[in-house]
Amino acid sequence: MSEYGVLLQQVINGLSLGAMYALLALGFTLVYGILELINFAHFNVFMVSSFIGMWTLEAVGISGQSHVLTGLALAGVLALAFAVTMLAGGVLGVAIERFSLRPLRKVRGPAAMITTIGVSYILFNVILLGVGAESKNYPNPMPVVRWQFGQVTLELREVLIWGITAVLMVALHLFVHRTRLGKAMRATAQDAEAAQMMGVDVDRVIVTAFFVGSALAGAAALIFGLYYNFTSFIIGYTAGLRAFTAAVLGGIGSVGGAMVGGLLIGLIESLGGQLIAVRWTDVIIFSILILVLVFVPSGLFGRATPTKS
Amino acid sequence: MLSRRALLINLSTTALVGAVMARSRSVFAADKTITVGISLPFTGADAHDAELIKDGALLALDDANAKGGVAGYKINVMQLDSGTATAGQYDPAQAATNARKMVSDDSVIAAIGPQMSGSGKAMSPILSEGDLATITPSSTNPDITDPKFAGQYRPKGKAIYFRTVTTDAYQGPNMANYFADTLKVKSVYVLDDSGAYGVGLADAFQAQAKKRGITVLGRDRLDPKEADYTTTLTKMKGLGPDALYYGGVAQAGVKVIKQSYDIVPKIIKAGGDGVYGAEILSGAGFPAAEGWYATIAAPNVLDNPDAASFIQQFAKKYGKQPGNYSITAYDAALVILAAVASVAASGKDVTRSAVRDAIQQSHVKTLQGIVSFDANGDIENRVISVFQITKNDKYPLDDLLHQYKYVGVAPASS
């Protein structure tokens, strides 16, 4: 492979990584936009969802990578797996909000954020103790299809990741900008009290933000499993931290920013690894983050801090 | 002999005498028990293989207890977990805590473990201060027993870190020889998993590979918590090596195996004993793991007819097949039992320092042959066995015995 071919291949790798980070970053950004709360439980909602996706696939009789489906059967199984995983992820997110965060809503200070860290550890340990520690071989019904363009290999699963991510993001954009509930979300993000006075049901908006954000984490989790063919109780940490960084880089609270931030982090990771060395990946990512925050404190696409009382 | 009831009567008659006796109960050897410490990573990615090691050791200790103990002593086991959820695998800090716990309990006369060299580096200085010998059935980093680092790993001077496997000073280089002689590899890319074992093994392999005229096209360090290694593997593919050598354990290994199967399916791939494990088979699975070479730092005993009864007994007791490091753990327990017996036979008290001295003098017949140690605690028999993962549908897919096919001995450097 020539230098050019390798770089192009790394761009493809980076886009696939970035798509996953972006989906995960949206969950941070949606909740932050409305509650100004960094939800660390999101890391492990992602991790738990990947197991739910795995069990769903196993329930329809797929194990390992040897059961290959094609055509309608594949589409049906994938649609079912995505539906179940996203729904379960969403319900988990809503449950976290309802039972551990709503009672703290009126408490000032970092109590809610610390609570999300606690919830994160609970999810982590429930899976560790309940499912075990070893990496699980993820069931994957997708055939291995590769296209060769010159020196660059493109795989079916990469195209699927990009496609599914694009569809989900367009859907989210339409939801936020074209529906009544989306409008209520934007209003709450701008000023929760005023929105409430105008008749917006703030609780419903918050529940929606948690549901949508966690459902996207569910989608990201299933994509993760299908892409890497493994999952384990530990996957939430690195992916979650990178996605959170992506949300901050793009401008936390900004939906478009989370998408761009995710793709940027993915590309930085793969190209940085190629041109410098993988062991420096985190150093590169966080150096760029610090530089961006020094010069553009609200992130690339963040609005200037809104005036809040 | 002073029974518990006698003690109670004493207590009820004269409280003072009773209290004194209770405090010095072990001196009376009323129960005549000794304790063997076992510290292994039962939490995290190494758990599966840690269980195999523990089961091997317990088989020998339980056998001895069933026969009435060794030299009249019943053997207790202090089993400690050196893996943590935060690390997701073995955790050297936890291993150090475990070492302190064993040292502070006077009844512990010897230990088995650790599984991992990273833990060994943390435990060794503490064990040395406590004069407590441990026998590792699987940790292979040479630094721990190297006299050059004696000040660091055994500040009190005497060897306390014994092994029933040999070290990466042989495992890495011998595999490099195997690459050059048998596999005819011309160029290689080397990866490690940032752990003490992985880095040391990869370094040792790389140095010998260069000496044998194999071009080392690159070297990268992987973060075991990271999910994505496609960046590194794509970079490697761009350089077009004949082979990949991975120094490290299962947590990163599973992902290296899966992702290298997608990106560089055709090249020769190999690792050390970190790639020899049930975790590799169940986590990476087939077809990704097919064809990988792995080594162990011990003779291949599982194919040896002498081991047949061991395998049978193991399978009957635990309902699963042993691994080669179940055997080295079994051997480690045999060495400890023999040491206790010889101390007792010489009429000395069974103290940990007497047991240490006896282990040092060991000449014990075990499953892998006669085990004896040099002055640093390293085993004198230095054999590196090579295996290739070859799917065998007739057996469970995580059965070490049948999915790893023994292909020979990696030649020592001349």
Of B309, B343, B314, residue with least CA distance to B326:
B314
Q: Please report residues of A whose CB lies closer than 8 A to that of B220.
A: 277-279
Amino acid at B225: K
Strand arrangement of the beta sheet that strand B108-112 belongs to: B74-81, B33-40, B108-112, B134-136, B161-163
ipTM (interface pTM): 0.83
CB contact at 8 A, B192 and B221: yes
Q: Do B238 and A3 touch (CB under 8 A)?
A: yes
Query: For residue B117, what are its two tokens?
Result: 């060299």
Cross-chain CB nearest to B254 (options A128, A135, A282):
A135
Q: In chain A, where are the structural domains located?
A: 22-234
User: Along the 414 residues of chain B, how does pLDDT read in single tens digits?
Assistant: 445 555 444 444 444 444 444 444 444 444 689 999 999 999 887 888 899 999 999 999 999 999 999 988 999 999 999 998 878 889 999 999 999 999 999 999 999 999 999 999 999 999 999 999 999 999 999 999 999 999 999 999 999 999 999 999 999 999 999 999 999 999 999 999 998 899 999 999 999 999 999 999 999 999 988 889 999 999 999 999 999 999 999 889 999 999 999 999 999 999 999 999 888 998 898 889 999 999 999 888 877 787 888 999 999 999 988 888 999 999 999 999 999 999 999 999 999 999 999 999 999 999 988 999 999 999 998 999 999 999 998 988 888 888 999 999 999 887
How many of the other CB atoms lie within 10 Å of CB of A63? Answer: 15
Q: Do B237 and A6 touch (CB under 8 A)?
A: yes
Establish if B84 touches chain A: CB-CB under 8 angstroms: no
pLDDT greater at residue B20 or residue A91: A91
CB pairs under 8 A between A and B: 117
C-alpha dihedral (A124, A129, A130, A136), degrees to nearest 10: 80
Cross-chain CB nearest to A230 (options B48, B258, B287):
B258
Of B294, B292, B324, B330, residue with least CA distance to B171:
B294
Amino acid at A161: I
Cross-chain CB nearest to A1 (options B228, B230, B238):
B238
Q: Do A279 and B285 touch (CB under 8 A)?
A: no
How many of the other CB atoms lie within 10 Å of CB of B84? Answer: 17
- For residue B194, the chain A residue with the least C-alpha distance is A279
> Nearest CA to CA, how far is A24 from chain B (Å)?
15
How does the average pLDDT of chain A come out, rounded?
90
Digit-coded pLDDT (tens) for A173-230 = 999 999 999 999 999 988 888 999 999 999 999 999 999 999 999 999 999 999 998 9
For the packed helices A235-250 and A255-275, what is the interaxial angle rounded to 10 degrees?
A: 120
Per-position DSSP letters for B62-131, written without gaps between them: HHHHHTT-BTTBEEEEEEEE-B-TTTSSB-HHHHHHHHHHHHH-TTEEEEE--SSHHHHHHHHHHHHHHT
**Would you tell me which residues 156-215 of chain A have a C-beta closer than 8 angstroms to some C-beta of chain B?**
none
> Nearest CA to CA, how far is B195 from chain A (Å)?
13
For the packed helices A235-250 and A111-131, what is the interaxial angle rounded to 10 degrees?
A: 150
- What is the C-alpha end-to-end distance of chain A, expressed in Å? 58
Q: Do B235 and A274 touch (CB under 8 A)?
A: yes
CA angle B232, B234, B240 (to 5 degrees): 110
> Nearest CA to CA, how far is A248 from chain B (Å)?
20
Q: Please report residues of A whose CB lies closer than 8 A to that of B43.
A: 128, 133
pTM, two decimal places = 0.83
d(CA B98, CA B78): 10
